[in-house]
Amino acid sequence: MKLTFDAETESFRQTFVDWLEANMPPEAATTERPSSTADLPQWARDWQRTQFDAGWLVPGNPPEYGGQNATLIQQFIHNEVLATRHVADSFNPQALGIIVPSILTFGTEEQKERWAIPILRGELTAALGMSEPNAGSDLAGLRTKAVLDGEEFVLNGQKVWTSGAHDADVILTFVRTDPDAPKHKGISCILVPTDTEGVTRRPFGSYISPEDLDFNEVFFDDARVPAENLLGPLNAGWKVANGSLGHERAMLWLNYSAALDRFVDEFRNAVAGTDAADDDRLVDWYGSVAIDAQAVKLLGYRTLAKTRRGMIPTEQSILKLFSSESNQDAHARAIEELGALGLDHETLSGPFRHLHLDGYMNSWFDGYLRTFAGTIAGGTSEIQRNIVAERVLGMPR
Amino acid sequence: MDFELDEDQIALQSAAAEILQKECPPSLLRAVIDGKGVDDDLWQTLVGLDWPALAIDPDAGGSGATAVELGLVIEQLGYVADPTPFLATATQFAPVIEASSDAEQRRRFLGPIATGGTGTLAVAGPTGRWDPADPPVSAERTSGGVRLSGRASFVIDGDRADEIAVLAATDSGPLAVVVPRADATVTREPAFDLTMHVTTVDLTGVTVPDDRVLAVDDPTAAFTAALESAVTGLSLMTVGACQRAFDMALAYTKERHQFDVPIGSFQALKHKAVDMYTLIERARALGLFAALCIAEGDPRRPLAAAMAKAAAGDAQHLVFKHTVQFFGGIGFTWENDLHLYLRRAKAAELIFGGAAHHRAIVGRHVLSGADL
Ligand SMILES: Cc1cc2nc3c(=O)[nH]c(=O)nc-3n(C[C@H](O)[C@H](O)[C@H](O)COP(=O)(O)OP(=O)(O)OC[C@H]3O[C@@H](n4cnc5c(N)ncnc54)[C@H](O)[C@@H]3O)c2cc1C
């Protein structure tokens, strides 16, 4: 147990920081705001490509996939530098974090060439089609159907919440291919190009603003997709859904941790010059947020250290739950503590934070609304609690 | 940061768990509470294992391990609600003595710990504020040494410590003085943790020779630093006690059936269990971080200790209320062992400042721009 990493690791960090400072696009070049999580302005495509070519996009990958075969600890350092500097590697995060790893794990060589590499280079963008109107937490209850007809799958059904679908070139779509099998065993995963006839995308506003268009309904009406677009074996879609939660996702906590750290800083700035430090109630609450921020980091470090040693990092299971709820409570209290100042509402018109994904939403209120993405998307807090209780604590189903 | 235990640390942790659960079962605690048994054998076992002197410098007769190893043992002591004078000796008394620049003094007062000597520190006044800037005891230099006057409150193990480290105010600034317990008038006070010795130490009229005045430049700073060790130790002891209560309640949810199913299948209990698990892990991580900061002499140690104590307090609050509830009526009985551990966790919250006190320290510190 040591407070610092070894010299070799620190020198890796310095190498990346130096590279970043030399290659990050300047603020003036990044003023065009991405309008969804699959909308890449040219500067964002170029930035992603620059990282890809230099092996810094996904350092753990081999060079042909934008990496340098970095070790786990090096991947962590890379993520930590980006997170603490609030620099986004990609403005199509679901593609880099979930879709590409799924293709690289389960795809054929052709699929990696056709989809993974162009997505990594920022030439194509992707969306994730899992949820449906009647299949949210109960994802395995999904009903969108795909039937093999000769050399093609024919898709019918509907997805919803599909972030960025209207700007995406391809949707990683989970479909039912065996209606008679038990529900987890009849699911497959298909790459559906969005220009396929019979695919209709309808973006709709989030509660942040009617102009915050990221959510989509996606309809499939006899949409025909080549059979070769099946990712992984037929009816093995559930495995693909779970398998994409590999190393990349194991480091997602860094983003939550960075969000909490950012909160601690921003709230301090917001009350600078006031007599906030004399308000015992406020100090008490703010202290607990700072404690949460530190605890998330420590639990994350512990997860990393255990993973490295081949131990099972049970703490990992609570990182998303704990940090997303803490971040949410912090924002709610912040608005209330700010009183009338909390009414400030810059929303989409506010300045776009240089290279930072969450910089769209600038008011404290919008920040609070955003925190519910953490407690709903990717498995709600309630579902997370069920999973931890059953799998970590061994409580009966 | 490499935040995982190495092999030796893991071995120490599991040895401590195994030995303590065997040597300190609930029946021992009950015997001590009922006045039918004593904890001498347990203390001798701990001494035999060299644990009280674990983090003490080898030059002064200790084992030379760090605050991290000590912390691991303390967590396991919390798991069994240790009734011995371990905590005050290792995390309160020893750190004060270590501040002495006089090697002879360090050997004299730390050396005996390896063979079962005990100690504590006295700094709180009757209101229970542990503030080294405002000690309840004062001193006067006399020809025979230093004459003390005043009473220190909430001294842990004052009745069974061989030596008591006292911070005493004088006209020319405070002194750190080591008083033989035999010279003081010590009263054990009633406390709801029935195996914790909470005492009042009256020092009025006690004179100690000059060689019992510690050679420290800044006695207030020495006591402040010792309190950081004390707070970290109590935090990890709380984590251990919480873990025990949690393990008991969790096991019960798998055994007890109602409505023909194990009660652990009820989601209301599952979600509470996860919330307890989360707060215990949060407190454990911060407790070990504080121990690591102490071990490495990191400047964040005051902040880290305050975070650890606040998090331990948050954990015990939730664990107390949920675990009793998990047991239903059985949780309300004297016979159920749960309360033995909950008493320790709650008592630890009340000593050296509770969660709210430490959150305020953290809040002010970070609000003023300090880095985490
Ligand atoms: C910002 C955002 C972005 C998203 N992006 C995408 C995307 O790109 N692609 C995609 O496929 N999906 C996406 N989603 C959808 C997301 O995965 C679902 O919203 C989520 O899985 C919850 O499903 P639901 O909305 O149908 O809620 P429901 O499942 O209907 O849940 C409603 C409430 O019931 C509770 N509940 C449900 N089941 C249980 C249970 N067993 N035990 C206890 N409580 C339960 C839930 O916790 C919740 O509080 C996104 C969602 C958000 C908010």
- Do B363 and A5 count as a contact with CB atoms less than 8 A apart? no
For residues A162 and A36, membership in a common domain is answered with no
Other Cβ atoms closer than 10 A to A353: 16
Residue contact A389–B274, C-beta within 8 A: yes
Q: Across the interface, which of A287, A315, A322 has its CB nearest the CB of B362?
A: A287
A382 within some domain: yes
B275 and B193 fall within a common domain = no
User: Locate tokens 């709709």: which residue?
Assistant: A204
Query: Within a 10 A sphere around the Cβ of B184, how many other Cβ atoms?
Result: 25
Check A397 against B5: CB less than 8 A apart.
Answer: no
Of residues A203 and A32, more confidence is placed in A203
Q: What is the dihedral of CA B303, B370, A306, B9, to 10 degrees?
A: -30
Q: Is residue A105 part of a domain?
A: no
CA distance B372 to B297: 16
Q: Mark which of B93, B117, B141 sits at the end of a domain.
A: B117
Question: Can you say how many angstroms the Cα of residue B367 is from the centroid of all Cα atoms in its chain?
Answer: 28
Q: Name the residue among A282, A298, A385 with its Cβ closest to that of B270.
A: A385
pLDDT tens digits along A346-365:
655 455 566 775 655 567 88
Measured between alpha carbons, how far is B101 from B105 in angstroms, rounded to an integer? 8
Report if residue A286 sits inside a domain: yes
B91 & B132 share domain: no
A387 lines ligand 1 (CB under 6 A): no
Q: Which of residues 284-303 of A touch B (CB under 8 A)?
A: 284-288, 290-295, 297-299, 301-302
Query: A160 and A87, same structural domain?
Result: no
**How many CB pairs below 8 Å do chains A and B form together?**
157
Average pLDDT over residues A16-39: 93
B55 and B90 together in one domain: yes
Alpha-carbon distance of A306 to A72, in angstroms, equals 11
| A93: number of Cβ within 10 Å | 18
Diameter over CA atoms, chain B: 79
pLDDT bucket at A337, cuts 50 / 70 / 90: confident
Q: CA-based angle A21:A26:A27, to the nearest 5?
A: 125
Please tell me the distance between residue A370's alpha carbon and the centre of ligand 1 in angstroms: 15
A308, A180: one domain: no
Would the pLDDT of A28 be above 70? yes
Same domain membership, residue A263 and residue A176: no
Report which residue type is found at B84: T
pLDDT of residue A345: 67
Domain boundary among B117, B137, B169: B117
Judge whether B372 lies within some domain.
no
Domain co-membership, A269 together with A194: no
**Helix (H), strand (E), coil (C) string for A158-175:** EEECCCCHHHCCEEEEEE
Are residues A229 and A268 both part of a single domain? no
Minimal-distance CA residue to ligand 1 atom 41: A383
Q: Are residues B22 and B111 in the same domain?
A: yes
Annotated catalytic, A113?
no
Q: Are A191 and A165 in contact (CB under 8 A)?
A: no
CATH number at B156 reads 2.40.110.10
Same domain for A185 and A260, yes or no, is no
Percent of chain A topping pLDDT 70: 94
Give how far B367 is from chain A: nearest CA, Å: 6
The domain total for chain A is: 3
Q: β-strand A187-193 against A230-231: which pairing, if any?
A: antiparallel
pLDDT at B235: 98
Domain that holds residue B144: 120-217
Is residue A361 in some structural domain? yes
In a domain, residue B228? The reply is yes
- Domain check: are B198 and B257 in the same one? no
* Residues composing chain B: 372
The reply to whether B239 and B357 lie within a common domain is: yes
pLDDT for the residue numbered A311: 84
Within 10 angstroms of residue A290's Cβ, the number of other Cβ atoms is 28
Q: Which atom of ligand 1 is nearest to the CA of A382?
A: 47
> Does B295 share its domain with B341?
yes
Among A208, A235, A262, where does a domain finish?
Answer: A235
Cβ-contact B275, B320 below 8 angstroms: no
φ, ψ (nearest 5 deg) of residue B225? -65, -40
Whether A140 lines ligand 1, by a CB cut-off of 6 Å, is no
- Beta-carbon contacts of residue B337 (< 8 Å; ≥ 6 apart): B26, B248
pLDDT band at A116 (very low <50, low <70, confident <90, very high): very high
**Is A386 within 8 Å of B267 (Cβ atoms)?**
yes
CATH number at residue B326: 1.20.140.10
Nearest to B265 among A301, A304, A396 (CB): A396
Measured between beta carbons, the chain B residues lying within 8 angstroms of A261 are 372
For the ranges A84-88, A230-234, A354-358, the lowest mean pLDDT is seen at: A354-358
Angle at A18 between CA A16 and CA A23, to 5 degrees: 90
**pTM confidence score:** 0.95
Same domain, yes or no: B87 and B150: no
Structure confidence at residue A245 (pLDDT)? 57
CATH, residue A355: 1.20.140.10
Residues A305 and A276 in one domain: yes
CATH code at B93? 1.10.540.10
Q: How far apart are CA B306 and CA B319, in angstroms?
A: 20
**Mean pLDDT within A164-186:** 97
The domain tally of chain B equals 3
**Whole-number Å distance between alpha carbons of B252 and B215:** 53
Q: B11 and B99 share a domain?
A: yes
Determine the Cα–Cα distance for residues A280 and A88; give it in Å rounded to an integer: 37
Is residue A368 within 8 A of residue A229, CB to CB? The reply is no
Which CATH number fits the domain that encloses residue A226? 2.40.110.10
Within its chain, how far is the Cα of A215 from the centroid?
14
Give the gap in angstroms from C-alpha A64 to the nearest C-alpha of chain B.
Answer: 31
Q: Are residues A386 and A261 located together in one domain of the fold?
A: yes
In this prediction, residue A242 has a pLDDT band, given cuts at 50, 70 and 90, of confident
Q: Of B102, B117, B132, which residue is a domain's last? A: B117
Checking ipTM against 0.90, whether it exceeds it is yes
Say if B282 is an interface residue toward chain A (CB within 8 Å). Answer: yes
Helix (H) or strand (E) holding A54: helix A42-54
Q: Where in A161-271 does DSSP place strands (E)?
A: 170-176, 187-193, 199-206, 209-226, 230-231
Six-digit token pair at B109?
């007062």
Burial A168-202 (b: 16+ CB within 10 A, else e): bbbbbbbbbbeeeeebeebbbbbbbbbebeebebe
Q: pLDDT in tens for each of the 372 residues of chain B?
A: 888 899 999 999 999 999 999 999 999 999 999 998 888 999 999 999 999 999 999 999 999 999 999 999 999 999 999 999 999 999 999 999 999 999 999 999 999 999 999 999 999 999 988 889 889 999 999 998 999 999 999 999 999 999 999 999 999 999 999 999 999 999 999 999 999 999 999 999 999 999 999 999 999 999 999 999 999 999 999 999 999 999 999 999 999 999 999 999 999 999 999 999 999 999 999 999 999 999 999 999 999 999 999 999 999 999 999 999 999 999 999 999 999 999 999 999 999 999 999 999 999 999 988 766
Q: Is residue A104 part of a domain?
A: no
* B residues 184-213 lying closer than 8 A (beta carbon) to A: none
Does B1 reside within a domain? no
With tokens 């060689």, the residue in question is B211
B 32-91 near A (Cβ less than 8 A): 68
How many Å from the N-terminal Cα to the C-terminal Cα in chain A? Answer: 37
* Torsion on CA atoms B300, B301, B304, B308, rounded to nearest 10: 180
Contact across the interface for B366 and A286, Cβ inside 8 Å: yes
Which amino acid makes up residue B99?
A
Range of the structural domain that residue A266 is part of: 251-392
Residue of B nearest to A301 (CA): B3
CA of B217 to the centre of ligand 1 (A): 61
Residue B260 sits in the same domain as residue B294: yes
Tokens 């750290």 locate to A261
Out of A123, A248, A266, A346, pick the active-site residue: A248
The answer on A197 and A305 residing in a single domain is no
Which residue in the block uniquely carries the two structure tokens 């080591």? B178
Q: Which residues contact A265 (CB under 8 A, 6 or more apart)?
A: none
Strand runs (DSSP E) across chain A, as ranges? 126-129, 145-149, 152-160, 170-176, 187-193, 199-206, 209-226, 230-231
Answer yes or no: do A284 and B285 touch at CB < 8 A. Answer: no
What local confidence, expressed as pLDDT, does residue A246 receive? Answer: 54
| A302, A389, A393 ranked by CB distance to B4: nearest | A302
